[in-house]
Amino acid sequence: MKKYLVVGALLLVVQLLNFGCASHYLKGVTPEGVKAYLGPASIQDTEAYKTFLNGSRSEAAKFDYLLERIKAAQDLEYYHEGNRHNWLEAYRAGTWLLRHHYEPGQDARDFVHKEVLLYQTPGKPTAIKFPDGSIHIAYYILLNELDLLDETLQKTSGSKT
């Protein structure tokens, strides 16, 4: 009986180390070195990009872009403080953050850094789980999305001249 308790306790410790440790979270890049995004890397035909192009193209409009990308990524799971959320809950949380914490004119990257990276429980990062089972820290995915938006804007404006 005592032997089974020891084995059970050891298995529990191993599981806690595997699930409680942030070291298995990726930082927006796959093990193969490819950046991860909420959706397809070709964004020209996405609703998020079209909405951004037709809007003010301001820092605030970048948040609308991010929210549209979250809305379209319905196959992803979102984690905050260790709790799992679907796309709709993540979308609503993002909308709430903007309404209550965004200061007009604030840089999108600074806002994401302050509200997504710094405002999280130690050992329980705000994260995104992809269909392949990989889990990325949300901050890095959102930065990838902002980089992708900027790169796409540069390519399309450069190709028109």
pLDDT in tens, 139-153: 999 999 999 999 999
- In this predicted model, what pLDDT tens digit does every residue of 94-114 receive, in sequence order? 999 999 999 999 999 999 999
21-35, 63-77, 95-109: the lowest-pLDDT one:
21-35
Q: pTM of the full predicted structure?
A: 0.82
If one counts the domains in the chain, the total is 1
Establish if 43 belongs to a structural domain: yes
User: Residue 10 — very low, low, confident or very high, per pLDDT cuts 50/70/90?
Assistant: very low
Establish if 7 belongs to a structural domain: no
Establish if 30 belongs to a structural domain: yes
Cα–Cα dist 111/146, whole Å? 12
Q: Is residue 116 pLDDT above 60, yes or no?
A: yes
In terms of average pLDDT, the best of 21-25, 76-80, 101-105 is 76-80
Burial 125-153 (b: 16+ CB within 10 A, else e): bbbbbbeeeebbbbbbbbbbbbebbeebe
In the numeric block, the tokens 């990062």 are attached to 125
Establish if 11 belongs to a structural domain: no
Establish if 124 belongs to a structural domain: yes
Q: Is residue 75 pLDDT above 50, yes or no?
A: yes
Establish if 15 belongs to a structural domain: no
Q: Is residue 79 pLDDT above 60, yes or no?
A: yes
Sheet holding 77-80, edge to edge: 83-85, 77-80, 127-129, 135-137
Structural domain span for residue 33:
26-159
Establish if 14 belongs to a structural domain: no
Of the chain, the percentage scoring pLDDT greater than 70 comes to 84
